[in-house]
Amino acid sequence: MTLDIAWNSAQEIARAIRAGEISPEEVAEATIARIEKYDPGLNVFSVFDPERIRAQARAISRRLAEGEDVGPLAGVPFAIKDMTAVKGDPQTAGLIALKDSVPDHNAALFDRLIDAGGIYVGKTTVPEAGYAVYGESHLFGATHNPWKPAHTAGGSSTGSAVAVASGLVPIAEGSDGAGSVRAPASLNGIVGFKPSLARIPCTVLPTRYETWAFHGPLTRTVADAALMFQVMAGPSEQDPMSLPDDGTDYLAEIEKDIAGLRIAYSPDLGTGYEIDPEVAEVCRRAVGKFEQLGATVVEATPPWARPEDAFWHSIWVPGFSAERDLIDWDAWEGQIDPELIDLIKEADTVAVSDYGRANLARAQMYETFVEFMRDYDVIVSPSLTHAAHPHGQFAPDHLLGQSVQRQLLGWLLTYPYNMLTVPAISMPAGFTEDGRPIGLQIAGRKLADAEVLRVAANFERVHSPWTDGARPDLAPFES
């Protein structure tokens, strides 16, 4: 095959490098050239050092020349989200107040990607404090959706998703507290996988014992997501809750078929949210592919009540309470989103009793989910209720003017799985009539990461824009 570095998968690039068909230096130069051509318009990278990329490529070439097995990511370029620690590179959380904050260590997952032979390209943009599915910040500005100029790329793994969707890198890391991997994956037409809690050591939060934050891969293929996940997963002293390696070969698992599986399809995941008719129709048609693959699909929804309130009071508001001491929020007024400041201040108003009741509701949701999933292998839904909206809007049109809670969460079907701590993946399902991507979410039982990836891989074989040759038109972003 002819290698197209911009659009081939990580697996294909690594295979070609190991076979001597292309050198790490050639991959590095092609990556640098493409980023320099398109990133000024897209606004993806917050840290980008071409000479460091070249040095890594030369080092991998030397190791290959000496006969060394450099790892499964041999020479593959990858990007890291701003909020994940890379020693010596700014870790700003998208805040002007933290623009000079530089960690003195690497996140465990970063070292693992390097040890697997990957080439670190740089860090990617995020909204302020990673608090919203909103690809803008006062520090970085707006990061653009490659499929639809002047529209949101989502968040909070904003730049990572766009880097993959626009062919700047084949794989990128993101983190997910309410859907921050899956939501931008949905809006940018790529694969975004949130694994089970503690599969990948989580270092995005300093508190370490949170049960709603995750790291995960953003890729164009499920095989690349499985490969990247397999590299990043496993125990680490950085995360006291990280799980041991159970020996699963995820790349082998995704080759299995799904004949005989029972799949629940929920149009709104029990949220009661308004679903855009185009999103609903595209996802309903996409779900029909599972029956072609030999699975049985039943429309069914877990019988829980108001998951949004449980999430808001048990996770989201308390989760931001620790950030009230991060900076002097009032002093930075005008240089921080007012919605974020409102959220930080609301954290001080939540009573212990409210928090306790919300955690009880979260536990009841988990029990409901466990009972519901006795009848199903996976559950499928839209990832988001709407496709990308224009820049400058905090949320889709129908939510504007409502509470911060509703504008933040009222179009996400992703956050229930942060509460439940179970694996979930967003897959490209199709496009709106005007070309905006729509995502389909697949979730599974506790620790059923392999099964979720297997179902996603089977779906991809019969329904993927990347294998069908669809590509965003990047001409508007060319420098």
Q: Which of 9, 46, 61, 156 is catalytic?
A: 156
Q: At what angle do helices 222-232 and 108-115 cross, to 10 degrees?
A: 110
| Distance separating alpha carbons of residues 160 and 130, to the nearest angstrom | 13
Token pair 């949101």 in the structure block, residue: 152
Taking alpha carbons only, the member of 75, 73, 377 closest to residue 229 is 73
φ and ψ at 375, to 5 degrees? Answer: -100, -5
Q: List Cα–Cα distances, 223 to 14, 72, 160, 171, 303, in angstroms.
A: 13, 12, 18, 11, 33
194 is catalytic: no
d(CA 146, CA 24): 26
Q: Nearest-CA neighbor of 219 among 432, 466, 468?
A: 466
Active-site position among 9, 61, 180, 314: 180
The sign of the CA dihedral 419, 248, 262, 459 is positive
Q: Strands, E, within 240-340: which ranges? A: 262-265, 296-299
Do 437 and 387 contact (CB within 8 A), yes or no? yes
Give the helix, strand, coil percentages of the chain, each rounded to 5: 40, 15, 45
- In the block, tokens 């709104």 appear at 268
Query: Is 196 designated active site?
Result: no
Q: What is the DSSP letter of 202?
A: P
* Identity at 83, one-letter amino acid code: M
**Distance of CA 108 to CAs 63, 67, 167, 234, Å?**
23, 27, 26, 10
- Given 81, 123, 148, 289, which residue is catalytic? 81
Contacts of 140 (CB under 8 A, 6+ apart): 43, 46, 94, 125, 126, 159
Q: Is 81 a catalytic residue?
A: yes
Question: Hey, which residues are catalytic here?
Answer: 81, 156, 180
